Amino acid sequence: MKSLKNIPGIPLVLSVLFALLITSGCERDITVDLPTPEQELVVEGYINPGGPAYVFISRTSEFFAPVDSASLAGYAEKNALVVVSDGIISDTLIAPLPDLGYLYVSTQLTGEVGKTYSLYIRTADGKEATSSSTIMPPVVLDSVWFKVQGDLDSLGWMWARLSDPGTPGNAYRWFAKRTNKDDDFITPSGSVFEDKFFNGLSFDLVYNRGELPNSTAEEDENEEDGYYKKGDTIVVKFASITKESFDFWRAAETQSSSNGNPFGSAAPLKSNVEGAIGIWEGFSYTLDTVVAQ
């Protein structure tokens, strides 16, 4: 009979089995007792030319807190004092759904290019948050078009030609939606960029079709995922944003792309709201409509 040690592969198999026996005998349940963090304010507010200021206010939750309609309603901030000012008019925002809170909208103030708008928030329990943001001038895309990707028959991405102004410090964000298919504008991954390395240059942009966070739509699970299709009518919303907005959204996209990855690096959000986490953003935009063909 042949000795086990002379059979190829047997020593390695025995070593693996021995290691498994040792590790299986050491298994035990580990309970991690996470401390309860203090709830922080979360602010997401916007103002753009011709539109009212609107601000969403909520609170952070514990890491393993339940996520359902009841718990989410509990995080919404009610009875907050929210004031937006352009230095001349100070508008106290109203809550369209006061029993819920969360959303606050201006009724006396609309955005204008070049103006700076300050934000002041005081919650019912006395927490305060402040910020300011300027509406940057819009930058018009030279052209926008749909192009089939590679050897795909009818699926492709959106392209655009941008001529960046010669003044440094411009930053942008790309949105798009399909009429009769998407309820709102959606940002793809990498939607924000700045002109740090291409100030004053002209170049082409290309973007795939983004999807809403936590989307469960059936069409987002087939071969069209990430693509536009011939016959789609696509509206591109190209926004000019501040450097602070660029820093915030770039960090937010970095976090989103590494979500669930234990080897991913933490990317703290660069909030521009003092006393809260989030963004108060003035921006302008242009719209272009393309029929994919």
Write the pLDDT tens digit of every residue in 105-138. 999 999 999 999 999 999 999 999 999 999 999 9
Terminal CA-CA length for the chain: 74
Q: What is the mean pLDDT of residues 43-71?
A: 85
Q: Which two tokens stand for residue 251?
A: 């960090």
Average pLDDT taken over every residue of the chain? 86
Residue 9 confidence (pLDDT) above 50: no
Kindly report, as residue ranges, where domains of CATH 2.60.40.10 are found in the chain.
143-263+283-291
| Higher pLDDT among residues 225 and 204, named by residue | 204
Percent pLDDT > 90 in the chain is 69
Q: What is the DSSP letter of 49?
A: B
The span from the CA of 290 to the CA of 144, in Å, is 7
Burial label for 60, CB within 10 Å (0-12, 13-18, 19+), is middle
Give the DSSP H/E element, type plus range, for residue 57. Answer: strand 52-59
Question: In the prediction, which pLDDT does 269 show?
Answer: 81
* Domain range 41-134, CATH architecture: Sandwich (2.60)
The pLDDT tens digits for 231-290 are 999 999 999 999 999 999 999 998 877 655 545 555 578 899 999 999 999 999 999 999
pTM of structure: 0.81
Question: In the prediction, which pLDDT does 34 show?
Answer: 58
The residue with tokens 């009429």 is 179
CA distances from 162 to 130, 172, 195, 200, 288 (A): 34, 11, 11, 10, 13
Question: In the prediction, which pLDDT does 73 show?
Answer: 77
Question: In the prediction, which pLDDT does 7 show?
Answer: 40
The span from the CA of 272 to the CA of 92, in Å, is 21
| Higher pLDDT among residues 6 and 255, named by residue | 255
Q: Which residues make Cβ contacts (< 8 Å) with residue 261, sequence separation at least 6?
A: none
The pLDDT tens digits for 143-160 are 999 999 999 999 999 999
Question: In the prediction, which pLDDT does 212 show?
Answer: 81
The pLDDT tens digits for 19-36 are 444 455 555 666 555 566
> CATH number of the domain at 143-263+283-291, out of 3.40.140.10, 3.30.1950.10, 2.60.40.10, 3.40.50.300?
2.60.40.10
Contact 268, 262 (CB under 8 A): no
Contact 269, 277 (CB under 8 A): yes
* In 179-242, alpha helices (H): none
Contact 111, 127 (CB under 8 A): no
Percent pLDDT > 70 in the chain is 77
Q: What is the DSSP letter of 4?
A: G
| Higher pLDDT among residues 163 and 216, named by residue | 163
Query: Where residue 215 falls among pLDDT bands split at 50, 70, 90?
Result: low
Residue 141's nearest CA partner among 293, 290, 291, 292 is 290
